[in-house]
Structure 1
């Protein structure tokens, strides 16, 4: 066992020991609010699970859109044309630099004002998450293609 693995194991053991000892002893974690029902008669746990379902749906939809958009954005970055590479760089650097929370606020509050449209929170979240993550996906695709050696490209050309 290497020294690094040993320190990681010791750290996890200490964290488990602290967690099991009830660190803080009398701290009220407030888990009792999950089980009772709301004034409207709805169970808080079901309310939280409903939000979990929306989160999973949002993540999956935004993931698929970001993959497609990321591939579309990565292709100009592989072009021989300088203006296409510049457009790719601007998009990638701009949307990688904007924090996701700021992008969410811009899309939800700013886009409806600028385009005179009405966006529900779910759609605004999908748009913001997909656009933000597509910049990362584009960089991954571009770097992946550029990491392929020249001999591999020549072999692929020879195979047809």
Structure 2
């Protein structure tokens, strides 16, 4: 009889290969759209010049335009990271599992939000503050699972 404990196994998502292909296409389309929008916003930001602003109000409006554009760009970057992280989970075979309990996330939720990391119930708990977000990687802005959590 072996004295070695068996390692816990990760749950498998309940998605059919066809569903995974469909969700991968949604993620890749979102990734492409976000990259194009980000590049467009970077170009627009370069075009905002304060040199031709005639008065204080013009400068304030241009400043507001620039801040709004940068905020949008940051939101797009954040979503892009979520999309790329979801594609990584697909490659590792962990896509479609809730970060809170490894239960399968329903296809209908993933179809609506293909980068979802939580089932609807746990997402609500997270937003209400009753569920704590896993350890965050400040450089990547998304949770990093420890080796033990990945098993």
- Normalised by the size of structure 1, how large is the TM-score? 0.32
Q: Which has the higher contact order (CA 8 A, sep 6+)?
A: 2
Query: Of the two, which has the highest radius of gyration?
Result: 1
